[in-house]
A and B are shown apart, each in its own frame.
Chain A
């Protein structure tokens, strides 16, 4: 508990003092972790330089294993990005009051991770110098182009959706005059938090929260379609669009939970990320672990029952062949562990959700591996020699650098922006408590009049 108040924050309210503290105070541990993450990221940049210079031959990719770690990461990180915007928008639209403390940290995940996801296919390109050809020579029949459009739209929408609800907080920082006053004066864009401005802002946020939901759904649907539109065994599946959206939200929830546990610990935010938040998010994780099982079971049973030989080669490669270890680890991480931990209130604690969250994140990465690689190495043409795929150190370095780069950027973001929405907490205290009481009263029938018959 921070007993002493930082001198720069002395004039502010207790909420503001607590939540702006990370902006003015940095522990040595922060620098240590940031330095380590920076080093890993730099290592990945060097690895990419080598790949750029000598060609994609520096990876473990081959024919017919054309897509590997980079495409897995692309699907995975864009999936994580569904954390923020979608969860936060759904909670906002459904008036879930417990959202107030967690939306900001979730939205930041979205905006920061989406870039790391979107660069993966560019890293995977043989000719990254020609990446702008997708605009210059756009061929709209290609699902890849649909993807370029939907990810572009999603990035724009979620950046606005992060920025606008942050305006009142940016105004608070500007008025407090801490850190870099000119930077915050610019970002706060003259927002004064007058009742008229606030009303307009809330109206815009309300509209945005609805608009981003279909955009977010479209993003991972189209990523699923990139695979589903081909005639490859176990890719050509109508379930892939919704399956990918569900998986994306699932891994997103897991990522938020991990971030919440770390933020809570690092910035002493126990007052804001309360056991109830972990309990509710844990329930959400539980629902998605069941959904995950339902979708996965439906997908595999359909393939198995049909028994088409080309499909079965991939099917058995996953269940009992060379990919059995990643497959069953995925089942463990995406289903068994989260189900066991999240079905009991006693383990829906910060510690329990952290373990479940990590299991789900690993499981969902493996799910994407199990989608991309086994199909790739089992082409439909049966004479084709069975291929192998062993990722090279270049690919693994870039994988590590993507994780570390994202975490580093997220850490830095917490040093410039309050990771819990100050004004929404304040609004919750001042208005919502009464509003919710009124709303609940409104759901109920009128108290019967005393003069009944």
Chain B
């Protein structure tokens, strides 16, 4: 059974933010004003979280890129009253925008705070507005949105593979963040497929998942820094 998942090597992450930018342009993520961003209303399906350790000048900065964890036991899916948040049989947690009623219960239930709400109708700078990705649906105001592991790329990759009558290969389906990461810190694939790198990496001695003790079974693994 396919379980799409991600392994992020924190030793390789330089905090460059390329994944964030690639995600934004791939997924038609709306731009908000600086004032709105200060209020906590910016969108970032993939966000590089920063942690500063120690006191100046002896400080270390650590970066943790955070997409949706695509939990196998997703708290957001349990609480949605209309089944707008769902998990598909390959483990991708998705959001049906035309069904979401905007109650934000899922957002509250998510321990990783990765669900974003459209407080206003989405806006883009004019130049960007002309180049939106036609493969990704736009969200109306008043609904929740979240990282989809670039699910639309999987659909396209499947079609291509079928047309060429061959198996889907690891490199056929990569989300934008993994594709663009300059240091190869983000590795994506099928956690159950022994031919995919993630299936071995998740057993690395450095591998951990966020808040594993909550029983949410996240499918994003982190390789902790060696120091």
Residues of A within 8 A of B (CB): 54-57, 60-67, 121, 124-127, 130-131, 133-134, 136-139, 141-145, 148, 226, 229-232, 376, 379-381, 383-385, 387-388
> Do B79 and A55 touch (CB < 8 A)?
no
Chain B residues, CB < 8 A from A141: 78-79
Assuming the contacts A55-B119, A230-B109, asked whether A125 and B101 have C-beta atoms less than 8 A apart, the reply is yes
Chain B residues, CB < 8 A from A125: 101-103, 142
Chain B residues, CB < 8 A from A124: 103-104
> Do B117 and A139 touch (CB < 8 A)?
no
Q: How far is the CB of B14 from chain A (nearest CB, A)?
A: 17
- Name which of B3-11, B36-44, B183-191 contacts chain A: B36-44
Chain A residues, CB < 8 A from B104: 66-67, 124, 126
> Do A63 and B107 touch (CB < 8 A)?
yes
- Name which of B80-88, B147-155, B158-166, B195-203 contacts chain A: B80-88
> Do B108 and A67 touch (CB < 8 A)?
yes
Quick check: is B25 within 8 A (CB to CB) of the other chain?
A: no
Considering residues A125, A126, A131, which has the most beta carbons from chain B within 10 angstroms of its beta carbon? A126
- Contact partner, A379, options B113, B144, B210, B214, Cβ 8 Å: B113
Assuming the contacts A56-B102, A57-B119, A141-B78, asked whether A64 and B40 have C-beta atoms less than 8 A apart, the reply is yes
Instruction: Beyond A64-B40, A138-B81, A381-B113, list 9 extra A-B contacts (CB 8 Å).
Output: A54-B120, A63-B107, A66-B108, A127-B102, A142-B79, A230-B75, A381-B111, A381-B210, A387-B40
Interface of chain B, helix or strand or loop or mixed? loop
> Do A133 and B41 touch (CB < 8 A)?
no
Quick check: is B137 within 8 A (CB to CB) of the other chain?
A: no
> Do B83 and A137 touch (CB < 8 A)?
yes
9 closest Cβ contacts across the A-B interface? A126-B102, A126-B142, A57-B119, A62-B40, A144-B81, A66-B104, A142-B81, A383-B49, A57-B120
> Do B39 and A131 touch (CB < 8 A)?
no
Chain B residues, CB < 8 A from A379: 111, 113
Residues of B within 8 A of A (CB): 36, 39-41, 49-51, 64, 66, 75, 78-84, 99-105, 107-109, 111-113, 115-121, 140-144, 210-211, 214, 216
Chain B residues, CB < 8 A from A55: 118-121, 141-142
Specify the chain A residue showing the minimal Cβ separation from B39. Answer: A62
Chain A residues, CB < 8 A from B115: 63
Specify the chain A residue showing the minimal Cβ separation from B216. Answer: A231
Considering residues A60, A130, A136, A138, which has the most beta carbons from chain B within 10 angstroms of its beta carbon? A130
Assuming the contacts A142-B78, A145-B81, A383-B49, asked whether A131 and B101 have C-beta atoms less than 8 A apart, the reply is yes
Assuming the contacts A57-B36, A381-B113, asked whether A138 and B108 have C-beta atoms less than 8 A apart, the reply is no
Specify the chain A residue showing the minimal Cβ separation from B105. Answer: A144
Q: How far is the CB of B89 from chain A (nearest CB, A)?
A: 17
Chain A residues, CB < 8 A from B143: 126-127
Q: How far is the CB of A379 from chain B (nearest CB, A)?
A: 5
Q: How far is the CB of A321 from chain B (nearest CB, A)?
A: 18
> Do A134 and B142 touch (CB < 8 A)?
no
Cα distance A295–B144 in the bound complex, in angstroms: 35
> Do A231 and B82 touch (CB < 8 A)?
no
Q: What are 23 A-B pairs at a CB distance below 8 A? A: A55-B121, A56-B142, A57-B119, A62-B39, A64-B107, A66-B104, A124-B104, A125-B102, A126-B117, A126-B143, A127-B143, A130-B101, A133-B99, A137-B82, A137-B83, A137-B84, A137-B99, A138-B82, A230-B79, A231-B109, A232-B111, A381-B112, A383-B50
Q: How far is the CB of B47 from chain A (nearest CB, A)?
A: 9
Chain B residues, CB < 8 A from A56: 102, 117, 119, 142
Cα distance A55–B36 in the bound complex, in angstroms: 13
Chain A residues, CB < 8 A from B113: 63-64, 379-381, 384
Assuming the contacts A63-B107, A126-B143, asked whether A231 and B214 have C-beta atoms less than 8 A apart, the reply is yes
Cα distance A229–B106 in the bound complex, in angstroms: 11
Q: How far is the CB of B147 from chain A (nearest CB, A)?
A: 14
Chain B residues, CB < 8 A from A226: 105
> Do A148 and B81 touch (CB < 8 A)?
yes
Q: How far is the CB of A57 from chain B (nearest CB, A)?
A: 3
Cα distance A124–B83 in the bound complex, in angstroms: 18
Cα distance A62–B142 in the bound complex, in angstroms: 12
Q: How far is the CB of A256 from chain B (nearest CB, A)?
A: 31
Chain B residues, CB < 8 A from A376: 108
Cα distance A125–B84 in the bound complex, in angstroms: 14
Chain A residues, CB < 8 A from B111: 231-232, 379-381
> Do B101 and A63 touch (CB < 8 A)?
no
